[in-house]
Amino acid sequence: MSAYLAHPGDMFLSLIEGIDESPPWSKFMADLAARTQARKAILLIHIANSSAEQEPTVVHVSAPRAVTEPALDHRRLTALGLHPYGKLRIGRVYGVEEMLNFDDKEILTAQRKALHDMGIGFGRWLRLSADGVADAWIMIVREREDFSSAAVAALSAIGPPLTSALRTFVALNQQRLQAAMAQSALRQLGIGQVALDANGRVMAADQLAANNLSFSDAPDGTATRRLLLPKSVQTELEANCAAMARAAAPSQAPATIRISETVRLLLKPWELPLPPGCTKPAAIGTLRLDHREDERPGAMLLRQLYDLSGNEAALAEKLSRGQTIVEAGQQLHLTDETARNYSKRLYAKTGARGQADLVRKILTGLAPLA
């Protein structure tokens, strides 16, 4: 029985835990190298849709006896012209000898010398593919003695579980990308959010909320946090969360919780669907800071959207920030009459019915996200 199959539990555990490591599966690769008695090992992960310039994720592992030696260089291996990684049959373990160019003695000699210089006397390659969304390659090498059949079987046996873990890794990356996009847009608008359970405890908070709210550990010593609030405000928050959790439909009226003199939290029942197995929040608390995009990129975007001149766009941006036409004109070194003429051209080009409508168009358009 292979070393891997004899002790599968901790290998599976390192696969699961390794999804969230940086780089992923470092411990798993260390375990694999130990079980196969490899001197060095390398894991390459290439995610679909990544640009041609983007390097694959690389995990290097060395046995204790080789920690002072250079790690395997995947670029140098690629430059040797070995059997192309993409053409390796998925799930099959290849020996290094199978990947050499025996049709050209000069190239073969150069390949053997380069491998020798890298301390690769014997090696095994394994290619994995997760439904086209990601590919992975593992190489384990030794210097003086070939791998045992048990070691090769161990390498072969990791294929299916690592492929499953790779699918999960890609799915998690997609969710992280979606979350990052959403949080970036909200942060640009000065919006932060915190998810709360029926007892008013914090289940999750985005970065803007985390930076602008204070948290305390739960009294019972659990990892669940609470907002750090005066007792009366905390009681109000908990009562609203409990009511929203009991509501049969998201018809429970929103509530506002005063966090400080300048910050209020809008509390609404959770309305969005979650996959089965996910814990559903009772309420979402939303805070909004007095935040706007920088004027320069905002004005540049308005120029593109409405074919405005530089001064027209700058005037529009200032009007959207609450300035009067005269105040905005003075900051732009325009006479009052010139500023008013610009404003009329702004209304015509944007289709606004007046200053208030112009501000509405700007604030509900793309400029605040510039």
Question: Where do the domains of the chain lie, and which CATH numbers do they carry?
Answer: 3-172 (3.30.450.80), 189-288 (3.30.450), 295-369 (1.10.10.10)
End-to-end Cα distance, the chain? 60
What's the rounded Cα separation, in Å, for the pair 136 and 159? 10
- Residue 125 · residue 152 · CB < 8 Å: no
pLDDT of residue 218: 60
- Residue 123 · residue 96 · CB < 8 Å: yes
What's the rounded Cα separation, in Å, for the pair 120 and 101? 16
pLDDT of residue 219: 56
Q: pTM for this one?
A: 0.79
Sequence-ordered list of residues with C-beta below 8 angstroms from that of 166, at least 6 positions apart, any chain: 45, 128, 130, 134, 136
Q: Is the dihedral of CA 349, 323, 212, 214 positive or negative?
A: negative
In terms of C-beta density within 10 A (0-12 exposed, 13-18 middle, 19 or more buried), how is residue 160 classed? exposed
What's the rounded Cα separation, in Å, for the pair 263 and 256? 10
Sequence-ordered list of residues with C-beta below 8 angstroms from that of 230, at least 6 positions apart, any chain: none
pLDDT of residue 220: 55
Helix 149-157 × helix 26-36 angle, to 10°: 160
* Low-confidence residues in the chain, pLDDT < 70: 1-10, 85-86, 218-223, 248-251
Name the token pair of 168. Answer: 């999960």
pLDDT of residue 84: 73
Other CB atoms within a 10 A radius of the CB of residue 253 amount to 11
What's the rounded Cα separation, in Å, for the pair 8 and 6? 6
Name the token pair of 87. Answer: 């053409």
Write out the E strands in the chain. 40-47, 57-62, 93-95, 122-129, 134-142, 191-196, 201-205, 215-217, 225-227, 255-258, 264-269, 283-288
Name the token pair of 230. Answer: 């005066």
Alpha carbon dihedral 48, 166, 137, 162, in 10-degree steps, equals -160
Q: Among 304, 306, 294, which Cα is nearest to 352's? A: 306
What's the rounded Cα separation, in Å, for the pair 112 and 101? 10
What's the rounded Cα separation, in Å, for the pair 343 and 348? 9
What's the rounded Cα separation, in Å, for the pair 180 and 362? 24
Q: Strands of 134-142's sheet, edge to edge? A: 57-62, 40-47, 134-142, 122-129, 93-95
